[in-house]
Amino acid sequence: MNILVCISNVPDTTTKVKFADDNKKLDIAGIQWVINPWDELSLTRALELKDVASSEVAKVSVAHVGPATSEPTIRKALAIGADDAYRVNTEATDAMQVAAELAEVVKSGSFDIILCGIESSDYNGANVGGMLAEFLDYTSVSGISALNVSGGEINVTREIDGGKEQLVVKAPFVGIVQKGIAKEPRIAAMRGIMLARKKPIQVSEPKQAESATALLGFEAPPPRAACKFIDADNPKQLISLLQNEAKVI
C-alpha cells in the first residue's frame, strides 16, 4: 500500500503577516516557511504506519505544487522520513488550480491513500482535499482524527456532529486530516537530514490548470473595540453588560 501526502508551504504560524505591492501580495521578507501543520501531522501518521514491523505500507511520498523556492520545505518532509517527492513546478494561485495539478501527480503514480491537511494555515480555505477527490472521482473522508491499516483494511475515525464514527474505507481514497491523527509532528534527525539530500524529487511541468478565483488584494481586519475592564470584585457587572449592552446572553 502506498501513501501520498500533499504538502503546502506556509509561513510559520507565529508570523505577523504584512503585505507588499499596494497590498496585493504577501510581503515575504523575513518569513520562515514551514510544512502546513496539518500536512505535517498527516505525514507523521503515514510514517508511523510505515515504520511498524511487517508494515502494509510500502512507500510514503509527498507532493507539492510550487516553485523551486519551496524545495527546502520538501527536503524537510524527506528528512522527516518520506521516501520520495513530487513537485509541480508552478506558482500556486488558488485551491482549484492546486487540486487539478495534484490530480495529475496522483494519476501518474500508484497510490492507495492520499492525505491532505484539512486546511492550510495561510489562506484557510479547506478546499484542496475535497477538490482533489472530485477531480479523481475518489471517495473522500473529511475530519479524520485516526487512521489505521491492517489486513488490507483501512480504518479511519472521523468527527461528526456530537461524536465520532469509525469507518472502513475502500482504497483509493482521499483522507482529509485534522488534529488527533498523530500526537506530535515528527522532527527530523541528523541522519534523516543527511539521507534526504539523496532522495529523489520528481519535478513535473504544470498542465496549466486555470484558477477559478482572482485575489484582488488584502485589507486589514476592522479593529476591535478596546477591552472594557470590569472590577474583579464585581463580576456580576459582566453578566449585566453581556445581557444589556452586547445582548448576547
Binders of other proteins among residues 150 to 209 (CB under 8 A) are 155, 159-170, 173, 176, 179-180
User: How would you class 12 by CB atoms within 10 Å of its CB: exposed for 0-12, middle for 13-18, buried for 19 or more?
Assistant: exposed
- Name the residue among 193, 205, 149 with its Cα closest to residue 175: 149
Q: Judged by CB under 8 A, does residue 221 bind other proteins?
A: yes
Specify the residue, 45 or 75, whose C-beta has the smaller distance to other proteins: 45
Judged by CB under 8 A, which of 122, 146, 202, 204 binds other proteins?
122
- Dig out the grid coordinates for 57 from the structure: 505500507
Q: Which stretch binds other proteins (CB under 8 A): 27-35, 50-58, 80-88, 233-241?
A: 233-241
Segment 4 to 23, residues that bind other proteins, using CB under 8 A: 13-14, 16-17, 19
Cβ at position 172, least distance to other proteins in Å: 10
Measuring CA to CA, how many Å separate 152 from each of 4, 60, 113, 171, 198? 17, 16, 12, 10, 31
Q: Judged by CB under 8 A, does residue 33 bind other proteins?
A: no
What's the CA gap between 33 and 218, in Å, rounded? Answer: 20
Specify the residue, 190 or 227, whose C-beta has the smaller distance to other proteins: 227
Judged by CB under 8 A, which of 89, 108, 139, 148 binds other proteins?
139
- Dig out the grid coordinates for 145 from the structure: 482524527
Q: Judged by CB under 8 A, does residue 91 bind other proteins?
A: no
- Dig out the grid coordinates for 119 from the structure: 486546511
Q: Which stretch binds other proteins (CB under 8 A): 51-59, 79-87, 120-128, 195-203?
A: 120-128
- Dig out the grid coordinates for 169 from the structure: 474505507
